[in-house]
């Protein structure tokens, strides 16, 4: 009887990905696939197989030069629009008064609303996740030259699971570069294959953690030991390439970026697609969910 | 008469490279050559011509694998030697108690004393500077993984001129990698050809500036405008390659490095050779010279 009860209880609210615990837990293998299959799309079989094994795939020239120019103009327009700057979804650096990120931008910009439904973008996400998808998060990022801060190693899924209540790693992010990514101006580093390992993190999530974590992460950080082991096993790749290139990567891929002292700023459009079969529930390791503009709590399947 | 007097005065203490001024001065062309000529050596003509134009040259496998292992063991020995750790020439990070740099290491380590006289090292420096040379500064650097700090853009000569009294840019540095330099673990970035331009910096040198500037430079920093112009004209190259590779670079080359969040630490041996015809005088822009272990004030030509 006791065994049955426990089992039932586990089924009703199973947490296959415990994290933010008081005591360290060892990294363990993920059970869900990276490429879920069942839907066709623009990704060719070899690229899809590589995505499945490495957890990411690159698409040079996803946007044309003209489109890059149009989106850069759109970003300039947004960053100087007083209403946008005053919006809570816009992250403005206190010191410089410069815009760093604008969240939920697929709702505030028609151009980007179109982009998230563009077959080059949407159909790749559907193909990888094997289902209809919706936008879990969208944002544009402006990273300045000279003093651009990087982001320490992390898995996005760890945060989305703990703080947003995303049940499983069935989400995929597309980062579209609007500026050239050199090896030396703070481009994304990834550990290919690391998406197959979940790394639980130590430490309780503080209230309103997202306000600090959007600029510098302190909770939800893997141990140096876990990072070393993953790097030794998988190595490190860097996302470089001309403006218009895109990186599609798994929600559980270990990634980070260095700082940028070069004069070359970086900006990109970042869209997270979640499977409609992976709708958010209550956060697994936070008192309250983050705001909807950071993690959409309603499933609105994208249609064209 | 007045003209003659002024002229004599200028000759007795000319400062062709004014810097650390209250008001900004525009960057200007350097008059001295990069490769001084007159001495033969191990650098082949094509590499020497490239060094002259770009301000640096790379030597893969300058040290053999066995030598790299021997020098790494020597660095480990030094970093754990209590007498070395307690020496004022050793920079220990306060937080972690880890050794970051050991200065004047060609005096404290016999192995490195031999290395600075090794023809592969010494004869390259003599060949570039066209004269006998001495060690202006030597050090070994330990840069940790995960939290390795970079160095912002700077010209070494600007500091050595202002704070040490080095009259002219007739010095050359050799950095020998003891660990692999990847594009993403904080390797040196250089602007090829930038050694031909001197960038005066704004701001008076504070007393004992070297104590802070060895970890983070605040004075002697070029303006963002100057860095942007140099980068636009010259571009940026990065020093990558396996352990044992060496970079020989001009004292006035604009260079810097990003931080290092990867688990891959970096260590290197760094030796600055100055021409015996370019002996230090009183600092050009500081109240007192830096200690001799940072900038040797006696000319002792290197002999084998």
- The pLDDT-based confidence of A217 (bands split at 50, 70, 90) is low
Domains and CATH numbers, chain A: 48-278 (2.60.120.620)
Q: Express each pLDDT in A229-238 by its tens digit.
A: 999 999 999 9
Q: Express each pLDDT in B64-75 by its tens digit.
A: 999 999 999 999
- For residue B14, what pLDDT is reported? 80
With CB atoms and an 8 Å threshold, state whether B231 touches A262: yes
CB B176 within 8 A of CB B302: no
- The mean of the pLDDT values for chain B is 92
- For residue B11, what pLDDT is reported? 41
Burial class (CB in 10 A: 0-12, 13-18, 19+), B65: exposed
Q: Which of A150, A184, A228 sits opposite B263 (nearest CB)?
A: A228
Average pLDDT over residues B209-220: 67
Percentage of chain A lying above the pLDDT 90 cut: 84
Angstroms from A221 CA to nearest CA on chain B: 12
Q: Is pLDDT of A44 > 80? A: yes
CB B244 within 8 A of CB B61: yes
Backbone torsion region of residue B49, taken as left when φ is above 0, otherwise alpha when ψ lies between -120 and 50, otherwise beta:
alpha
Q: Is pLDDT of B40 > 80? A: yes
Q: Is pLDDT of A289 > 80? A: yes
Q: Is pLDDT of A297 > 80? A: yes
Q: Is pLDDT of B109 > 80? A: yes
Determine which of B56-70, B112-126, B145-159, B212-226 has the lowest per-residue pLDDT on average.
B212-226
- For residue A100, what pLDDT is reported? 93
- The pLDDT-based confidence of A96 (bands split at 50, 70, 90) is confident
Percentage of chain A lying above the pLDDT 70 cut: 93
Q: Which of B153, B227, B259 sits opposite A150 (nearest CB)?
A: B259
CA distance A248 to A242: 15
CA distance A141 to A271: 11
Residue B165 in tokens:
């009294």
Percentage of chain B lying above the pLDDT 90 cut: 84
CA distance A184 to A263: 11
Higher pLDDT, B293 or B5: B293
Q: Express each pLDDT in A235-273 by its tens digit.
A: 999 999 999 999 999 999 999 999 999 999 999 999 999
Q: Which of A231, A260, A262 sits opposite B263 (nearest CB)?
A: A231
With CB atoms and an 8 Å threshold, state whether A259 touches B150: yes
Three-state secondary-structure class, residue B118: coil
Residue B235 in tokens:
């571009």
Q: Express each pLDDT in A146-190 by its tens digit.
A: 988 899 999 999 999 999 999 999 999 999 999 999 999 988 999
- For residue B110, what pLDDT is reported? 97
- For residue B205, what pLDDT is reported? 83
Q: Is pLDDT of A2 > 60? A: no
Angstroms from B279 CA to nearest CA on chain A: 33
Residue B180 in tokens:
């692999």
Q: Express each pLDDT in B187-197 by its tens digit.
A: 899 999 999 99
- The pLDDT-based confidence of B63 (bands split at 50, 70, 90) is very high
Q: Is pLDDT of B46 > 70? A: yes
Q: Which residues of B135-162 are buried (b: 16+ CB within 10 A; e: fewer)?
A: bbbbbbbbbbbbebbbbbbbbbbbbbbb
Nearest CA in chain A to B153: A261
Determine which of A10-24, A46-60, A161-175, B209-223 has the lowest per-residue pLDDT on average.
B209-223
CA-based radius of gyration for chain A: 19
Higher pLDDT, B112 or A220: B112
Higher pLDDT, B279 or B208: B279
Three-state secondary-structure class, residue B78: helix
- For residue B218, what pLDDT is reported? 67
Length of chain A counted residue by residue = 304
Nearest CA in chain A to B189: A184
- The pLDDT-based confidence of A214 (bands split at 50, 70, 90) is low
CB A42 within 8 A of CB A121: no
Sorted by sequence, the CB contacts under 8 Å of residue B15 that are 6+ apart come out as B284
- Token pair 């529930």 is found at A281
Higher pLDDT, B218 or B196: B196
Q: Is pLDDT of B1 > 70? A: no
- For residue A203, what pLDDT is reported? 87
Angstroms from B181 CA to nearest CA on chain A: 12
Sorted by sequence, the CB contacts under 8 Å of residue A155 that are 6+ apart come out as A194, A195, A198, A199, A222, A251, A252, A253, A254, A255
With CB atoms and an 8 Å threshold, state whether A236 touches B184: yes
Nearest CA in chain A to B183: A183
- For residue B304, what pLDDT is reported? 78
Nearest CA in chain B to A185: B258
Q: Express each pLDDT in B243-293 by its tens digit.
A: 999 999 999 999 999 999 999 999 999 999 999 999 999 999 999 999 999
- For residue A215, what pLDDT is reported? 54
With CB atoms and an 8 Å threshold, state whether B256 touches A259: no
- For residue A304, what pLDDT is reported? 78
- For residue A208, what pLDDT is reported? 77
- The pLDDT-based confidence of B204 (bands split at 50, 70, 90) is confident
- For residue A207, what pLDDT is reported? 79
Residues in chain B within 8 Å Cβ distance of A258: 184, 186, 258-261
- The pLDDT-based confidence of B215 (bands split at 50, 70, 90) is low
How far are the Cα atoms of A53, A99, A100 from residue A96, in angstroms, in the given order? 41, 9, 10
- The mean of the pLDDT values for chain A is 92
- For residue B213, what pLDDT is reported? 64
- For residue A10, what pLDDT is reported? 40
Chain centre distance of CA B90 = 17
Q: Which of B186, B236, B263 sits opposite A262 (nearest CB)?
A: B236
Average pLDDT over residues B214-233: 85
How far are the Cα atoms of A176, B251, B294 from residue A67, in angstroms, in the given order? 11, 43, 53
The ipTM value here is 0.85
- For residue A14, what pLDDT is reported? 80
Give the mutation candidate from A144, A149, A150, A184 for the B interface (greatest B CB count, under 10 A). A184
- The pLDDT-based confidence of B157 (bands split at 50, 70, 90) is very high
- For residue B10, what pLDDT is reported? 40
């Amino acid at each position: 009887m006791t065994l049955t009860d426990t089992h039932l209880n586990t089924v009703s609210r199973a947490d296959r990905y415990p994290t933010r615990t008081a005591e360290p837990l060892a990294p363990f293998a993920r059970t869900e696939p990276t490429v879920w299959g069942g839907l066709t799309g623009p990704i060719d079989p070899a690229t899809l197989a590589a995505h499945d094994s490495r957890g990411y795939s690159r698409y040079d020239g996803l946007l044309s030069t003209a489109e890059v120019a149009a989106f850069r103009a759109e970003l300039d327009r947004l960053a100087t629009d007083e209403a946008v700057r005053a919006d809570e979804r816009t992250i403005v650096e206190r010191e410089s008064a410069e815009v760093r990120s604008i969240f939920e931008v697929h709702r505030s910009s028609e151009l980007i609303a179109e982009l998230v439904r563009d077959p080059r973008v949407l159909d790749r996400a559907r193909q990888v996740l094997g289902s209809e998808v919706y936008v879990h998060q969208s944002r544009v990022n402006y990273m300045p030259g000279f003093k651009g801060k990087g982001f320490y190693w992390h898995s996005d899924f760890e945060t989305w699971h703990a703080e947003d209540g995303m049940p499983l790693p069935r989400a995929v992010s597309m980062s579209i570069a609007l500026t050239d990514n050199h090896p030396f101006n703070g481009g994304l580093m990834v550990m290919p294959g690391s998406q197959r390992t979940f790394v639980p993190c130590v430490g309780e999530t503080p209230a309103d953690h997202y306000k600090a974590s959007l600029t510098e992460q302190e909770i939800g950080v893997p141990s140096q030991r876990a990072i070393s082991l993953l790097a030794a096993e998988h190595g490190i790749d860097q996302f470089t390439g001309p403006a218009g290139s895109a990186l599609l990567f798994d929600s559980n891929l270990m990634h980070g970026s260095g700082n940028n002292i070069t004069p070359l700023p970086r900006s990109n459009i970042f869209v997270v697609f979640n499977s409609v079969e992976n709708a958010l529930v209550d956060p697994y390791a936070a008192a309250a969910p983050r705001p909807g503009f950071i993690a959409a709590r309603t499933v609105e399947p994208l249609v064209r």
